[in-house]
Amino acid sequence: MAVFLNFEIHSQSNEAYIEQVGYGNTAEIFQEKHTSDNFIYLSQIGDLNKAVLSQQASVGLGQNTLELYQIGLSNMLIASQIGFGNYSSVTQSGNDNFYELTLTGNYNDLTALQSGSGNTIIQELSGSSYKIDIKQLGNENSIIHIDSYSSILQMSIIQSGTGARLMLVNGLYPK
């Protein structure tokens, strides 16, 4: 089952709510440029879920908000956020979860929880201020985080299990 949404609400804010229960679900959501603020709530409970999400708020003080829950095996999330303020909360529980985020913004608050085996998080961020909390519970977890131009960053990482791999790179480019 595939769901394609691109709401345009004249109140200057797009909001998308999706709940999927079952096998092989896919959700692709694109919220781009038309409004000041974007909001996505996505819950996928079942096997082989996949989500591709893109949020791009309007120029100025536009904000993006993402809340995602994936419970089950082989879940995957690929997300992109561009806006003045970005907020994301990602929870993946199950095996072989994968979460990739590309983000550009000035005030960003990111939270991710992965529990299960083989969890992976890849973040590539560009912007100024970040507050990031990541927890991974299980074995063979891996995190790659790169924030190219960050000026202020507070980051908390918890990895519990065997064979974890962590690489953090903070602001190693001229600004």
Partner 1 sequence: MKRIFVIALVMTFAASLSMAQHWDQVYQSGNSNNSSVVQGFMDVGTAKPGNGARVWQIGNQNLSDLKQFNGGYAGDQHYAEVYSYGNNNTAYTFQSRATGTSYITQIGDWNYGNVYQNGNVMNSEIYSQGNANWAQSILWATNSYSKITQLGNNNVANQLMGQGMGEKVQGSYFESYQQGNQNFSHQHMAGDGYAGGITALNNTGIINTFGNNNSAVQYMYEGSTSAANNWANAYQNGNWNNSQQYQTNAGNSSVHWQIGDGNVSVTVQN
Residues numbered 138 to 157 that lie near partner 1 (CB under 8 A) are: 139, 150-157
Cβ atoms of 82 and 56 within 8 Å: the answer is yes
Site mask for partner 1 (CB under 8 A), range 6-45, x = bound: -------------------------------x--------
Counted residue by residue, the chain has a size of 175
Supply the DSSP symbol for 11.
T
Stretch that binds partner 1, among 25-33, 94-102, 107-115, 118-126 (CB under 8 A): 107-115
Work out whether 119 is an interface residue with partner 1 (CB under 8 A): no
Which CB atom, from 41 or from 74, has the smaller least distance to partner 1? 41
- Report the chain's terminal Cα–Cα distance, integer Å: 45
- Output the CA torsion sign for 107, 132, 146, 66: negative
Work out whether 159 is an interface residue with partner 1 (CB under 8 A): yes
Distances (CA, A) of 27 to 6, 38, 71, 152: 12, 16, 14, 33
What amino acid is encoded at 88 in this protein?
A: S
Beta bridge partners of 20: 44
- What tokens appear for 171 in the block? 């602001």
Which CB atom, from 76 or from 153, has the smaller least distance to partner 1? 153
Query: Which residue among 65, 69, 73, 92 contacts partner 1 (CB under 8 A)?
Result: 65
Which CB atom, from 95 or from 139, has the smaller least distance to partner 1? 139
Work out whether 174 is an interface residue with partner 1 (CB under 8 A): yes
Which CB atom, from 43 or from 129, has the smaller least distance to partner 1? 129
Work out whether 158 is an interface residue with partner 1 (CB under 8 A): yes
Burial label, 27 (beta-carbon count in 10 A; 0-12, 13-18, 19+): buried
Which CB atom, from 25 or from 65, has the smaller least distance to partner 1? 65
What amino acid is encoded at 68 in this protein?
A: L
Residues that bind partner 1 (CB under 8 A): 37, 61, 63, 65, 85, 87, 107-109, 129, 131, 139, 150-175
